[in-house]
Amino acid sequence: MSGFSMGVTPKRRVRAAPFRPLRVFGLEADPATRWVRIVLAEKLQHDAHFEAVDVRRPPEDLIALNPGMRLPMLLDREVCVVEAGIIVEYLNERFPHPPLMPSDPAGRARMRLLLSQLWQAQARKAATGKTDACRDMLLTLAPLMSAKGLAIAPGLHLGDTALAALLPGWLRADMALPASLASRVEACYSALMRRAAVHSVPL
């Protein structure tokens, strides 16, 4: 990627719209958009409004604030945030409870590395149609998978929420996982899907 882009867009005047505390713009079937919506639900922000974007007729607010159409996009009053990874960290700081990142710097660094690896695997799948990177990622994560989620930090964390957004699409592609790995993935997947926040966001 060339150049440097900020994930937070400066305030610009937009068309008046009905007040909503939080608005999420995104593609309905997009895992990154689903990730943002899961985090919002975990933060109990049930009044957040999701606006599915038709790229042929995008909303005026979206074009005014985000002419490059980088999705998903979060609008929090007059603050506009783009890119899912930046959005979820913003939400974690904006709504501190329940915390979804470790409290220590080393733990947060490990979490960010995990998130980067998960989404890199997804990007390779999207670009090539092949699931090798996703399968390798699941093989790497297998020792950390349990019927509670990923054991890399106490309680629920952003790694769990990202995996909840990604696993449905990964598992729809037949990756021929070894039986021992498949059982671990299934237990972890079932645990994540039982969470009210995950269940509340349509696939």
Concatenating the DSSP letter of every residue in 131-160 gives -HHHHHHHHHHGGGEETTEETTSSSS-HHH
Clarify whether residues 88 and 112 are in a common domain.
Answer: no
Last residue of a domain, one of 94, 117, 149: 94
Cα 32 from Cα 38, distance rounded (Å): 10
pLDDT at 196: 94
Q: Which helix (H) or strand (E) holds 198?
A: helix 196-199
Cβ-contact 87, 61 below 8 angstroms: no
Q: For residue 173, what are the domain limits?
A: 105-199
Cα 39 from Cα 158, distance rounded (Å): 8
Q: Tens of pLDDT along the chain (203 residues)?
A: 434 444 655 545 445 445 557 999 999 999 999 999 999 999 999 889 999 999 999 988 899 999 999 999 999 988 999 999 999 999 999 999 999 999 999 999 999 999 999 999 999 999 999 999 999 999 999 889 988 899 988 899 999 999 999 999 998 887 888 888 888 999 999 999 999 999 999 88
Secondary structure of residue 119 in the 3-state scheme: helix
Clarify whether residues 90 and 109 are in a common domain.
Answer: no
pTM, two decimals, is: 0.88
pLDDT tens readout for residues 105-137 = 999 999 999 999 999 999 999 999 999 999 999
Q: Is residue 180 part of a domain?
A: yes
pLDDT at 20: 59
Cβ-contact 113, 120 below 8 angstroms: no
Q: Is residue 1 part of a domain?
A: no
Bridging pattern class, strands 145-146 and 149-150: antiparallel
Clarify whether residues 110 and 190 are in a common domain.
Answer: yes
pLDDT at 4: 40
Cα 182 from Cα 138, distance rounded (Å): 9
Residues, the chain: 203
Secondary structure of residue 81 in the 3-state scheme: strand
Clarify whether residues 125 and 170 are in a common domain.
Answer: yes
Cβ-contact 82, 66 below 8 angstroms: yes
Please, what is the end-to-end C-alpha distance for the chain in angstroms?
A: 30
Q: Is residue 127 part of a domain?
A: yes
CATH number, position 69 = 3.40.30.10
Clarify whether residues 21 and 90 are in a common domain.
Answer: yes
Clarify whether residues 62 and 117 are in a common domain.
Answer: no
Cα 62 from Cα 180, distance rounded (Å): 45
Clarify whether residues 16 and 74 are in a common domain.
Answer: yes
Last residue of a domain, one of 94, 122, 154: 94
Domain count, the chain: 2
Here the tokens at position 58 are 């995008």
Clarify whether residues 168 and 137 are in a common domain.
Answer: yes
